[in-house]
Structure 1
Amino acid sequence: MWLPALLYLLGQLDLSAGGSDTTDPDAIFAVNNGTAATDTMIQPHFDNSTKREYTAAVGQPAYLHCRVKNLGDRSVSWIRKRDLHILTVGVHTYSSDARFAALHTDGSDEWTLRVAHAQPRDSGAYECQVSTEPKISLSFWLTVVVSKAEILSGPELFVRAGSDINLTCVARHAPDPPSSVNSFIYWYRGANVVNYAQRGGISVETEQRTRTSRLLIARASPRDSGNYTCAPSSSDSASVVVHVLNGERPAAMQSDAYQTKPTNTLIFLIILILRIQKLDNIMDTFVLVYTSIVNFQIKHRFISDNSVRLISR
């Protein structure tokens, strides 16, 4: 089997790329890889409407689809551009990497390169070549990415009891198109799949096209608190800790900017009063203003109980 491949390789020494593998997909698509329009009715030619940029997730299979019209007795080969390595000729594989294979159905004009268990190193340019004289070729670009889920609410969410828990999960850089019709996004609470039968008011909406899933838990109670995980079948998972609280929000829910505002206000008021009033007893004035501001802080829960005990001493 190696002899036909060797002969074929010798006939491909005029490869335009010279073995280079640019990182710009547009550069490879700018080359005219077809035959003249007047020859397309009788000569092999490519279906130029074919999609030529593909994205696959790490560990998932990648597929590059090449359509050739009027192939006749010519052969179709797949070449990896960066090293001019012949991957397949016809339906035969000429690579020691068993992940590469050519898929073709008799009578079809489609020749597909499959890369099983795609890895980031597989990213780059590939050529679909037809053994005409001179040869014709069409370039494709494959990008292999790590697909990760993201919960839009962030790593922590505080919800008041009686309101709804609404979590939205997006699978970033998921395969395009979806790797299979069995591509799901699962929701877990702790180590267990969210149980719809155990509690009413739970619903999940998943949009396969955008790889988005929304978990809605109506009328949340403190028992609904916990670690919620979004786990797409072909992406890394993401988690959020949900706190369902009774009563007012805890100090941890205050923003940093809101917590630092009283300190700035305290300094400003002390300076302002001292300049305007020009009181003789500066220390008494300082203590009076400071005490007033501290009482205001305590009333509005800007400082912790420990700080209150320290000030009272």
Structure 2
Amino acid sequence: MAIYSQNFVKYIVVLLYLVQFINGSSHFLRNVDNAMYRHRRSYELRRKGKESVVDSNSVKSVSNGNKSGVFATENCTVVVAQIGGTATLPCVVRKFNNGVVSWIRKRDYHLLTVGPTTYNTDDRFLVEHVRHLQNWGLLIKHVQLSDAGFYECQMSTHPPTSILIELKVTKALAEIQGAPDLYMRAGSLLRLVCTLRHSTEPPAYVFWYHEQKMINYDPGVTVKEGRSSSVLLLQDADKSHNGNYTCSPSNAVPASINVHVLNATAEEKPAAMQHANTSSSSSYSFARCSILLIALIPVIPNT
């Protein structure tokens, strides 16, 4: 009987330790479940056309999201990214405690992440957690135009609070100075300058093409790269360098220019034609003025 009582006491002690362990380890899971419940509840309410603030368990109004001091990131922060680039939506938490940070796409109220875990089949979405900064950023790779819109960073405080981050997506464009046509003298230096417009990050590469052939590493060709520009230099241009040149940066719309290399005799001909046209126009204008002056001369009567 005494042995049975001792075993029973040991069983109770082990059971109490087990219950305590389960309660401690399940704290994070309860927070995740709460975040999932709030997301489902918020989605159902919006489908019914109701306001987001309906009771103490609902998400706070966006306009009040920063008043609690939970977030260091400003509400309605705007992030701009180019198509094909990478966007990082910041969410720095000032008061973390034991809460869970989740990201929700406002367009369709789709739950993207909870804590460090991604709840999305699209592997372009990731959580970028910088521990010492308490930044729970949402990383979007290979940005698409359809990714533009508002994203909600939600903290499972009591009551829950959140901020909105807006993502704007631009299309980077290449532009070559002097396009669409460039005329130059044979034997001179061909210099083409390609600049990027509406880009939010440096291109990984810039390829130059002559017709359909990439020429970055051809003999006599030099390419100088900048953060948002690329310069093509080609020494001693001749007739073989006539044609279409294309500047093609990564994640940007390419640009083209037509280069015309003229020798001395061919270059003088357009100038002579321009001079002839100018002379002809001047003669025509002089004739018109002469006729007008004759018409204005008063008729002098014979005496």
Fold agreement, TM-score > 0.5: yes
Distance verdict in 2 for CA 1:215–1:239, change over 3 Å? same
Aligned to 1:33: 65
In the alignment, structure 2 segments of 5+ residues that lack a partner are: 1-28, 53-61, 296-303
Give 3-state SS (helix, strand or coil) of 1:104's partner: strand
Q: Which residue identity is paired with 1:223?
A: S
Give 3-state SS (helix, strand or coil) of 2:91's partner: strand
Displacement of 1:261 after TM fit?
5.5
Aligned to 2:210: 189
Aligned to 1:214: 231
2:160 corresponds, among 118, 132, 135, to 135
Q: What's the CA shift string for 1:192-237, capped at 9, x where partnerless?
A: 33255522xx4322111xx111112234233332322111122122
Aligned to 1:153: 178
Give 3-state SS (helix, strand or coil) of 1:74's partner: coil
5 Å-filtered alignment, 1:98-247, equals: 98-104=123-129, 109-174=134-199, 176-178=200-202, 183-194=204-215, 196=217, 198-199=219-220, 202-208=221-227, 211-247=228-264
Aligned to 1:8: 38
Q: What's the CA shift string for 1:166-215, capped at 9, x where partnerless?
A: 211112222x2447xxx12122223333255522xx4322111xx11111
**TM-score, length of structure 2 as denominator length:** 0.68
Displacement of 1:251 after TM fit?
6.5
Do the aligned residues in 2 keep the contact of 1:76 with 1:111 (CA within 8 Å)?
yes
Do the aligned residues in 2 keep the contact of 1:55 with 1:145 (CA within 8 Å)?
yes
CA distance in 2, matches of 1:255, 1:71: 77
Instruction: Give every structure 1 segment of 4 or more consecutive aligned residues whose post-TM-superposition deviation is greater than 6 Å.
Output: 250-256
CA distance in 2, matches of 1:35, 1:250: 74
TM-align CA RMSD: 3.7
Distance verdict in 2 for CA 1:227–1:18, change over 3 Å? farther
CA distance in 1, matches of 2:63, 2:273: 55
Aligned to 2:104: 79
Aligned to 1:311: none
In the alignment, structure 1 segments of 5+ residues that lack a partner are: 20-29, 279-313
CA distance in 1, matches of 2:161, 2:270: 65
CA distance in 2, matches of 1:131, 1:171: 42
Do the aligned residues in 1 keep the contact of 2:186 with 2:263 (CA within 8 Å)?
yes
Give 3-state SS (helix, strand or coil) of 1:68's partner: coil
Distance verdict in 2 for CA 1:269–1:115, change over 3 Å? same
Distance verdict in 2 for CA 1:261–1:135, change over 3 Å? farther
Do the aligned residues in 2 keep the contact of 1:76 with 1:129 (CA within 8 Å)?
yes
5 Å-filtered alignment, 1:89-104, equals: 89-104=114-129
Do the aligned residues in 2 keep the contact of 1:78 with 1:128 (CA within 8 Å)?
yes
Distance verdict in 2 for CA 1:250–1:118, change over 3 Å? farther
CA distance in 1, matches of 2:272, 2:167: 46
2:94 corresponds, among 69, 73, 76, to 69
CA distance in 1, matches of 2:190, 2:120: 52
Q: Which residue identity is paired with 1:272?
A: C
Do the aligned residues in 1 keep the contact of 2:35 with 2:156 (CA within 8 Å)?
no
Distance verdict in 2 for CA 1:95–1:253, change over 3 Å? farther
Counting matched residue pairs gives 251
Residue identity over aligned pairs, in percent, reads: 32
Do the aligned residues in 2 keep the contact of 1:58 with 1:120 (CA within 8 Å)?
yes
Displacement of 1:12 after TM fit?
4.9
Distance verdict in 2 for CA 1:114–1:48, change over 3 Å? closer
Do the aligned residues in 1 keep the contact of 2:99 with 2:156 (CA within 8 Å)?
yes
Distance verdict in 2 for CA 1:63–1:163, change over 3 Å? same
Do the aligned residues in 2 keep the contact of 1:158 with 1:253 (CA within 8 Å)?
no
Give the greater-gyration-radius structure (CA): 2
**TM-score, length of structure 1 as denominator length:** 0.66
